[in-house]
Structure 1
Amino acid sequence: MMDPFQAHCEMEVTLAVISGKWKADIVQILSDGTPRRYGFFQKILPEVTPKILTNQLRELENAGILTRAIYPEVPVRVEYQLTEAGTGLLPILEALEIWAQSYTKKIR
């Protein structure tokens, strides 16, 4: 992910944070506020490889969009949840979805 401090404008920061094939899906999955485990993402997104899923989750965590809570159990339990910044992305992603629906109707 691009360093947000090297962005030329705020839009570039937003696009850098959400760019990635699965990031919008991950944020959408977490949008109901329920903490989710890694295996849940694998079930919902069977097309994504474990390596890519892990990478996308780490990038979102590093960007402050989600948190990762580790519980010292056997086996270790790890849960992901949106932060306040992540929740702030939801209206943006919804607007992008509405635009995409309108756009695809026009170009078909």
Structure 2
Amino acid sequence: MNSDRFSLPIPAPDVLSERCPSRDVLRHMTSRWGTLVLIVLCHGTHRFSELKRNIGGVSERMLAQTLQQLEGDGLVLRVAHDVVPPHVEYSLTPLGQGAADRLRELAAWIEDNLPAFLPAQAA
């Protein structure tokens, strides 16, 4: 018996649809902390404390939650080494690298154009 006959069709991804799971990925990637974590991990593997040091203002709780979300989306790889004290490292998956490259471009564009944003923000 062909089980494919009974599987439900997967709808085409549509980030504008409120039911599309792509919205969760978008929300995790483009949250303040998600974007910053991905940008920092562009530069290689980091431990939790290194990430916290590099991302000004993030609390341990928010960083842990963000890393779990990004790991759950397949963007971040968490490797726990079996040593005492515990040693956990975070890096980007190939999927995460693609996302981080695009976010890094956006962040660079924002930084390059910051003088143009300032008058509007002041108004």
Distance 2:78 2:87 in 1: 10
Identity among equivalent positions (%) equals 23
* Residue 40 (structure 1) aligns with: 50
CA contact (8 A) 2:28 2:66 kept: no
For residues 98 and 23 of structure 1, what CA distance do their matches in structure 2 show? 16
Task: Summarize the Cα distance change of 1:106–1:25 in structure 2 as closer, same or farther, 3 Å threshold.
Answer: closer
**3-state SS of paired residue (2:42):** helix
Q: Which has the larger radius of gyration?
A: 2
Name the CA distance, whole Å, in 1 between partners of 2:22 and 2:71. Answer: 20
Give the C-alpha shift of residue 45 in structure 1. Answer: 2.2
Unmatched 5+ stretches in structure 2: 1-12
Give the structure 2 partner of residue 58 of structure 1.
68
TM-score, normalisation: structure 1: 0.77
SS in 2 for 1:96: helix
Residue type matched to 1:20 in 2?
Answer: S
Pairwise CA RMSD of aligned residues? 2.7
Distance 1:10 1:60, change over 3 A: closer
AA in 1 matched with 2:36: D
1:76 matched to 2:112 = no
3-state DSSP of counterpart to 2:32:
coil
Unaligned stretches of 5+ residues in structure 1? none
Q: Establish whether residue 16 from structure 1 lines up as the match of residue 36 from structure 2.
A: no
Report how many residues are paired.
Answer: 103
Cα distance change on mapping 1:104 and 1:89 into 2, 3 Å: farther
Structure 1 CA distance for aligned equivalents of residues 109 and 22 of structure 2: 16
Give 3-state SS (helix, strand or coil) of 1:90's partner.
helix
